[in-house]
A = this chain, B = another copy of it.
C-alpha cells in the first residue's frame, strides 16, 4: 500500500517545490520519497513511489493530477476509434524514468529492506482512461463494456501487454516484488469481474518473468476470494472489510495474505491501534504466510507518530504468530 505521502512533513517539503508528476519522473526525488517511510516509520519494505497512471500517460494521454479532484484525462478513450490515439509501442521505454528511480532507490536502500514495485491492473487503468475523471457510478466505462465490449477488450488487451512489459522491466531493474492493483475490480458484477478484470490479471501473471520475485495481487472489493486462488501469484492483498482469518480458511495455504488493518485505525488512540493490530494478527492466526499491512494506503491526515507506533506494535506482537 502507499506509504510515502502527504502525512509525512518530509514528503510535503518536497511536494511544495515539485508537482506530483515531476516527482514521479525525477529518479532522485522519487527515490528520496520512497525511502522516507523506511527511515521515518520503520517499515520493512519500501514501495517505489509512482502512480498507476504513468502507463496511460506514457501512451500519450494528457494526465493531470488535481489534489482535490483526483487524476483527470481531458482526452478520455470512449470508442474503438479513440484507441488509435494511444501510442502503444515502446511504452516501457518512455517509462525509463521508473527504472532509473528503481536503480537509485536500490542504491539508497543498500540492502536494508526489499523494494516493491507496482502497476495498476488493466481494468482499473481502463476505468480512469475511459471515465477521464472521478466518478461515483462508473457509468461511462460500464456503458462501454455493455455497448461496445469489443472496444473494451481491445483496450484491456493493449493495457495487459504494457503491464507485462512494465512489470518485467521493473523486476529486471531491481524490484524484489511486484504488486498488481485492481482498485476498481469491486464495482463489477460477478460475470463482468471475470470477463473484464480477472482474465487480464491472469494473463499478466502468466507472462511475468519474475526471476523469483513474489507477485502480489490486490483486487479491492473482490469478496469472492475463491476466484483468485488459481492466479499464478504468491500473495493476495485484502482490504480492511474482510476477516483475514475467514479469507485464509477460504483461500487455503496456497497463497500468502497481505493486509488488512483499516487505515483509519491510525487516527485512534495508541491503545486502540495496538488492540486492532493484534486483532488482525490473531485473526490470521499462527504460521507463515501473513504480510501485515494496512487494507489501503495511509491517509494524508494520519499522525506520523501513530504510523511509527503501529510498526513498533507489529514488530513486537508478530513473532508469536509468524514462526
Residue from B188, B189, B241, B299 within 8 A of A190 (CB atoms): B241
CB 8 Å contact bits of A217-243 with B (1 = contact, 0 = none): 000010110000000000000001111
Given the known inter-chain contacts A221-B241, A299-B137, please indicate yes or no for A268 contacting B188, CB distance below 8 A.
no
Across the interface, do B267 and A146 meet the contact criterion of CB distance under 8 Å?
A: yes
- Give the docked Cα–Cα distance between A321 and B246 (Å): 33
Q: Does A202 contact B (CB under 8 A)?
A: no
- Give the docked Cα–Cα distance between A162 and B45 (Å): 49
Give the Cβ gap from A94 to chain B, nearest Cβ, in Å: 30
- Give the docked Cα–Cα distance between A143 and B187 (Å): 26
Residue from B138, B242, B268, B299 within 8 A of A264 (CB atoms): B138
- Give the docked Cα–Cα distance between A243 and B224 (Å): 9
Across the interface, do A265 and B146 meet the contact criterion of CB distance under 8 Å?
A: yes
Q: Does A272 contact B (CB under 8 A)?
A: yes
Q: Which of A146-205 contact B (CB under 8 A)?
A: 146-147, 186-193
Across the interface, do A192 and B137 meet the contact criterion of CB distance under 8 Å?
A: no
- Give the docked Cα–Cα distance between A264 and B193 (Å): 14
Q: Does A269 contact B (CB under 8 A)?
A: yes
Give 30 pairs: A residue, B residue, CB < 8 Å, sorted on A.
A137-B263, A138-B264, A139-B264, A139-B267, A139-B301, A142-B264, A142-B267, A143-B267, A146-B264, A146-B265, A146-B267, A146-B268, A146-B269, A147-B267, A147-B269, A186-B241, A187-B241, A188-B241, A189-B240, A189-B241, A189-B262, A190-B241, A190-B243, A193-B241, A221-B221, A221-B241, A223-B223, A223-B241, A223-B242, A224-B246
A residues near B (Cβ < 8 Å) are: 137-139, 142-143, 146-147, 186-193, 221, 223-224, 240-243, 246, 262-265, 267-269, 272, 279, 295, 299, 301
Chain B residues lying within 8 Å of A262, measured Cβ to Cβ, are 142, 189, 192
- Give the docked Cα–Cα distance between A181 and B102 (Å): 47
Chain B residues lying within 8 Å of A186, measured Cβ to Cβ, are 241
Considering only CB atoms, which chain B residue lies closest to A273 in the complex? B146
Across the interface, do B264 and A143 meet the contact criterion of CB distance under 8 Å?
A: yes
Across the interface, do B137 and A264 meet the contact criterion of CB distance under 8 Å?
A: yes
Give the Cβ gap from A272 to chain B, nearest Cβ, in Å: 6
Give 10 nearest A-B pairs by CB, closest first. Answer: A146-B268, A142-B264, A223-B223, A143-B267, A189-B262, A189-B240, A190-B243, A139-B299, A139-B264, A137-B299
